[in-house]
Amino acid sequence: NAGVTQTPKFRVLKTGQSMTLLCAQDMNHEYMYWYRQDPGMGLRLIHYSVGEGTTAKGEVPDGYNVSRLKKQNFLLGLESAAPSQTSVYFCASRTGGPSGNLYNEQFFGPGTRLTVL
Amino acid sequence: TQLLEQSPQFLSIQEGENLTVYCNSSSVFSSLQWYRQEPGEGPVLLVTVVTGGEVKKLKRLTFQFGDARKDSSLHITAAQPGDTGLYLCAGADSYNTDKLIFGTGTRLQVFP
């Protein structure tokens, strides 16, 4: 039982390049999230999904796209990377339903450190 | 927009000392959580509080949810080096409980 995994762990991009970050979970969770973490700013929600085939914008969605074609996977894409997107990216998942919404325990992956030059 | 402010931002103490971290907002949250994050890893849930005035204890850690459900505190008794990490509070967005709003974080270092 691996929980939430993220690939890659590290990546360096040049401005204008594109890339996709992959998140996978094996807990059969309905909800999945992408956050970015910057010093002094906690975690900020980029996009999220409440089920296979659905996506929604979070707090800071500009410059990112996502897809949830399979329940266990949530992809985060950067079409044209900018230095402002240098950050650590975390994926998380949780169960849905009334209990899931109230207790809202999110399980996080280990993160992807992205540097855009 | 609901915001959560944590204080202090940094805390550096000696082993055995007590400390309190605060998480404050002007908004009401339906529940509030505390996570701990160690370097190179994702946050891990410590506790969830859902009722105003609720107090939960986890060994040397005591968590309290404010009566009005706008604030929370985390108190650590006799801190140990293993408590070192980034502590994050997170509230369930009252307008959309699908989402969590994270606080700004408190970085704690406990020296032996």
Is residue B34 within 8 Å of B65, Cβ to Cβ? Answer: no
Q: In sequence order, which residues have a C-beta less than 8 Å from that of residue B6 and are 6 or more positions away?
A: A42, B21, B22, B23, B24, B87, B88, B89, B103, B104, B105, B106
Q: What mean pLDDT value characterizes chain B?
A: 93
Hey, are the CB atoms on A101 and B92 less than 8 Å from each other?
A: yes
Chain A contact for B85 (CB, 8 A cutoff)? no
Q: Beta B106-111 vs B85-92: how paired, if at all? A: antiparallel
Contacts of B66 (CB under 8 A, 6+ apart): B52, B53, B72
Q: Does B42 touch chain A (CB under 8 A)?
A: yes
Residues of chain B numbered 22-41 and touching chain A (CB < 8 Å): 30-31, 33, 40-41
Per-residue pLDDT 10s for chain A (117 aa) are 789 999 999 999 999 999 999 999 999 999 999 999 998 778 999 999 999 999 999 999 999 999 999 999 999 999 999 999 999 999 999 987 766 666 778 999 999 999 999
pLDDT recorded at residue B93 = 77
Q: How far apart are CA A113 and CA A45, in angstroms?
A: 16
Q: Find the closest chain B residue to A106 by CA distance.
A: B45
Per-residue model confidence (pLDDT) at position A101: 67
Q: Cis peptide before B8, with omega less than 30 degrees from 0?
A: yes
Tell me if B21 sits within 8 A of B15, measured CB to CB: no
On chain A, the residues whose CB falls within 8 A of the CB of B92 are 101-102, 104
B59 in Cβ contact with B78 (< 8 Å)? no
Beta strand A19-25 pairing with A73-78? antiparallel
Q: What pLDDT, on a 0 to 100 scale, did the predictor assign at position A39?
A: 84
- Please tell me which of the candidates A45, A101, A108 has its beta carbon nearest to residue B97: A101
pLDDT bin (cut points 50, 70, 90) of residue B54 is: very high
Q: Does the pLDDT value for residue B103 go beyond 80?
A: yes
**Whether B67 contacts B52, CB under 8 Å:** yes
Are A23 and A15 in contact, with CB atoms under 8 Å apart? no
Mean pLDDT score, B86-112: 90
A40 and B102: CB-CB below 8 Å? no
Type of residue numbered B48: T
pLDDT score for A85: 97
Is pLDDT of B97 > 80?
no
Q: Per-residue pLDDT averaged across B11-21, rounded? A: 97
Give residue for tokens 């089920």.
Answer: A51
* Contact by Cβ (8 Å): A107, A24: no
What is the C-alpha to C-alpha distance for residues A52 and A67, in angstroms, rounded to an integer?
Answer: 9
pLDDT given at position B92:
85
Between B97 and A72, name the one with better pLDDT. Answer: A72
Contact B31 A102 (CB under 8 A): yes
